């Protein structure tokens, strides 16, 4: 037996006293400790305070999307080819840009209340085909939001570590904690979109993921995270214009990936995959909202208004101030 192993056989040093304990003493110490289940039971009040939404907390809210957005009715088929990506709700561009400022102000004020309340959270999911406008929408809508209370997560191709886990593992780690707004720029839906179109897993696997995604979102909702999902809907012609604009402007070359041209060849396959995902995963607690997104100014306004309306319906409240604070004075 090695010297190292021999020391472990003789006993271990008690960190509280510095005394080396015999194996018999170690066993007795273990017997004297309560089982882990008892330790959990003894922390009931602490756990209850840490997770109020799980024990009689707030129910999820689903508010009507801003006019111009098409919400996919749960149980109904989503036909993207029947939704006009050029729709602008009859709004004037200049008026819409002014209105966006007001919606941003609403989001900023409500986010502060959500952060202060620290009981619930909001997860905003963005999906779109390449050049669909996810980055631009996030910048335009959340400009001015306190970064301490908002986190954006972008999901690229999974790492080897992520591939060693279930397909939802990497997404669950990035869901927002209490008081936070989380934004997914691409999301768990990639695993029924790119994975499907590129034939990365067998069909029987990706088809089974729709139900798992619905369960995942139901778990989030039951735990106090409101889930708000936007699909930014552009036309094939609009995508062509946006790709050409990136090629023509040297300042936008960094945004252009030649692989986008290869992906464009799969346009129809992606539209079919998006349609199925929107159909199968629009639920009463987390419906999908299809945003006509050819006109960026319209897209930004209706997304911002829907986020603001959702936060307002959640009605976050500032916590009660400590008793007597109103009468306190600050010494010179």
The pLDDT value recorded for residue 236 is: 97
Write b or e for each residue in 87-96: b if 16 or more Cβ atoms lie within 10 A of its Cβ, otherwise e: bbeebeeeeb
- CB distance 222 to 187 below 8 Å: no
For residues 48 and 54, give the distance between their C-alpha atoms in angstroms, rounded to a whole number. 8
Question: Tell me, what DSSP letter sits at residue 101?
Answer: H
Single pTM value for the model:
0.84
**Which ranges in the chain belong to alpha helices (H)?**
3-10, 23-32, 36-41, 44-50, 93-117, 134-142, 160-163, 169-172, 194-197, 203-222, 236-248, 259-264, 267-280, 296-314
pLDDT tens digit sequence for 187-233: 999 999 999 999 999 999 999 999 999 999 999 999 999 999 999 99
Homologous superfamily in CATH for domain 65-314? P-loop containing nucleotide triphosphate hydrolases (3.40.50.300)
Q: Which two tokens stand for residue 108?
A: 């900023």
Q: How confident is the model at residue 152 (pLDDT cuts 50, 70, 90)?
A: very high
The pLDDT value recorded for residue 70 is: 97
**Which ranges in 34-92 belong to alpha helices (H)?**
36-41, 44-50
Domain boundaries, the chain: 65-314
Label each residue of 146-194 as H, E or C.
CHHHEEEEECCCCCHHHHCCCCCHHHHCCCCCCCCEEEEECCHHHHHCH
pLDDT tens digit sequence for 74-86: 999 999 999 999 9
Strands 225-233 and 121-128: parallel
- Indicate whether 272 pLDDT > 80: yes
For residues 4 and 60, give the distance between their C-alpha atoms in angstroms, rounded to a whole number. 57
Strands 288-292 and 150-154: unpaired
The pLDDT value recorded for residue 7 is: 42
Strands 20-21 and 12-13: antiparallel
The pLDDT value recorded for residue 47 is: 59
pLDDT tens digit sequence for 181-195: 999 999 999 999 999
């Amino acid at each position: 037996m090695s010297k190292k192993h021999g020391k472990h056989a003789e006993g271990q040093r008690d960190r509280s006293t510095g005394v080396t304990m015999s194996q018999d003493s170690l066993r007795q110490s273990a017997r004297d400790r309560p089982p882990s289940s008892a330790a959990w039971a003894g922390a009931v009040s602490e756990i209850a305070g840490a997770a109020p939404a799980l024990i009689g907390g707030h129910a999820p809210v689903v508010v009507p999307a801003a006019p111009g957005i098409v919400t996919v009715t749960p149980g109904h088929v989503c036909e993207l080819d029947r939704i006009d990506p050029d729709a602008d709700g009859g709004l004037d561009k200049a008026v819409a840009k002014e209105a966006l400022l007001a919606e941003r102000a609403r989001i900023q004020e409500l986010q502060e209340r959500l952060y202060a309340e620290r009981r619930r959270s909001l997860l905003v999911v963005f999906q779109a085909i390449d050049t669909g406008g996810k980055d631009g929408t996030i910048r335009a809508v959340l400009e001015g939001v306190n970064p301490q209370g908002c986190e954006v997560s972008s999901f690229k191709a999974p790492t080897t570590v992520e591939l060693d886990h279930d397909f939802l593992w990497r997404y669950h780690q990035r869901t927002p904690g209490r008081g936070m707004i989380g934004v997914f720029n691409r999301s768990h839906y990639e695993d029924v979109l790119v994975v499907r179109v590129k034939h990365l897993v067998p069909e029987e696997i990706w088809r089974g993921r729709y139900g798992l995604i619905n369960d995942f979102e139901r778990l989030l909702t039951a735990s106090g995270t409101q889930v708000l999902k936007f699909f930014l809907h552009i036309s094939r012609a609009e995508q062509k214009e946006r790709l050409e604009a990136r090629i023509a402007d040297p300042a936008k070359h960094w945004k252009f990936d030649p692989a986008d041209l290869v992906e464009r060849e799969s346009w129809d396959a992606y539209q079919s995959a998006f349609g199925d995902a929107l159909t199968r995963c629009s639920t009463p607690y987390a419906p999908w909202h299809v945003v006509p997104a050819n006109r960026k100014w319209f897209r930004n306004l209706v997304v911002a208004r829907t986020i603001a309306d959702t936060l307002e319906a959640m009605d976050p409240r500032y916590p009660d101030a400590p008793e007597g604070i109103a009468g306190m004075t600050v010494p010179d």
